[in-house]
Amino acid sequence: MISSRNKPLAAAAFVATTICGTINAFSTRCASSKYHHHISTTSTSLFSSTAQEQEQQLFYAAAGSPSVDMNKYNLPLPSCIENWTAVLQAETSMQSAGIFLKAKDSELFVDSLRFTIRRSGGLGLILTELAGGREDGVGITIIEEVVDGGNADGSGIQPGDSIVGLTVKKSISKGINVEEERVSVSTECLSYDATIEALMSLPEVVSDDDEVTLTVKRLRRQPKISVKLQYPPSDNLPDASIELFAGENLRRAMLTRGIKLNDKFAERFDSGGMGDCGADGTCATCVVSVGKGMDLLSPMKQQEEQILKTKPRWRMACKTVVGFGMTEGDLTIQLSPRQWEI
Ligand code: FES
């Protein structure tokens, strides 16, 4: 757990005046070993394989690459202040140990983004501390404001983002050759003072063209799909409404919410028998008819397309992901569509 030290408004204003000066001067101090500098001569990002980025990749893998501007899911600064927290993660085979930013609200997710901006003249970011006051420098520091006309202005960095890493290039003379190194520093879950210290530990600015790549974490709300479910008339059941998140499998989502899904009259395309195929896409007992919102669903693959070729509005729920491409909207579904045809 991290102790929380919310800065009062006056303190935030103080931060605003000091941070600009500090960031403007952040290249003047010598490197400290406290913030685990990483030096690389390759262009591979040093922040590409954290546990949370793996989580983010899995999230996007389920929902598909965004087909919409993800900024529509950004939160205003007060909501970010309310919802940032940190977790201590133990090492597993999938992830390294450490303290990472996390969303308090399970309907939000943490996105990871990179921006490259000019260094000379300062970053033009005003930071504020949400948690800190510990000896070890652990805390939460976020961007409170992007200064108009500053280097970060127009870059896409938003108030509420938290800087988790910075990478700069440094030229090293080796005899008659000049080699380029990338020097990175991690700033995830640091207090305000520790963040500034880490920023100042980076190599100094030597040219007006020097750039810094910032990796930031951003809280976003998960795209939601409002689903209206209609049971066949013979079931004599009222319509039901459920809310799903982008990336959810339609069959799994309905079954976990207690929706009666399997159509007893469905024509089976597997070897027959009782029950269903367990999401293999062969029994067709999970088929639904889609009214509104077909564009919110993942595209059909060949097998499903072949089986349902005469039914353009039907989908196998087990092979369907909702909110595909991180879309959101309304979906209307008729359950057990064969029973509607009787
Ligand atoms: S559960 Fe068998 S096709 Fe979906």
Same-domain pairing of 217 and 229: no
pLDDT tens digit string along 180-196? 889 999 999 999 999 99
Instruction: Provide the domain limits for residue 307.
Output: 224-340
Do 233 and 311 lie in a common domain? yes
Identify whether residues 244 and 319 lie together within a single domain.
Answer: yes
pLDDT at residue number 212: 96
User: Residue 11 pLDDT more than 90?
Assistant: no
Same domain for 51 and 180: yes
Residue 103 confidence (pLDDT) above 60: yes
- Lowest average pLDDT, out of 27-31, 135-139, 313-317, goes to 27-31
39 within 8 A of 182, measured Cβ to Cβ: yes
Shared domain for 179 and 246, answered yes or no, is no
Residue 1 lies in a domain: no
Minimum-distance ligand 1 atom for the alpha carbon of 279: 1
- 122 and 252 housed in the same domain: no
Regarding whether 237 and 286 lie in a shared domain, the answer is yes
Q: Which of 264, 269, 280 to mutate to test the pocket of ligand 1 (most atoms within 8 A of CB)?
A: 280
DSSP string for residues in 83-151: HEEEEEE---SSS--EEEEEESSTTEEEEEEEEEEE-TT---EEEEEEE---TT-B-EEEEEEEPTTST
Tell me, what CATH number does 149's domain have? 2.30.42.10
Assigned domain for 61 exists:
yes
pLDDT exceeds 50 at position 47: no
Pocket probe mutation, ligand 1, options 250, 255, 276, max atoms within 8 Å of Cβ: 276
User: Using CB atoms within 10 A of its CB, is residue 10 exposed (0-12), middle (13-18) or buried (19+)?
Assistant: exposed
Q: Are residues 196 and 217 located together in one domain of the fold? A: yes
- What pLDDT score was predicted for residue 89? 86
- pLDDT surpassing 70 at residue 129: yes
Selected residue with higher pLDDT from 52 and 277: 277
Residue 294 CB contacts under 8 Å (≥ 6 apart), including other chains: 313
Asked which of 181, 202, 221 is the last residue of a domain, the reply is 221
Domain total of the chain? 2
Question: What is the pLDDT, as a whole number, of residue 15?
Answer: 33
Co-location of 256 and 304 in the same domain: yes
Residue 279 in domain: yes
The residues lining ligand 1, judged by C-beta closer than 6 Å to any ligand atom, are 251, 276-277, 279-286, 316, 318
Tell me, letter by letter, the H, E, C secondary structure of 245-267.
ECCCEHHHHHHHCCCCCCCCCCC
Mean model confidence pLDDT for the chain:
83
pTM: 0.80
Final residue before a domain boundary, out of 191, 221, 251 = 221
One domain, residues 130 and 245: no
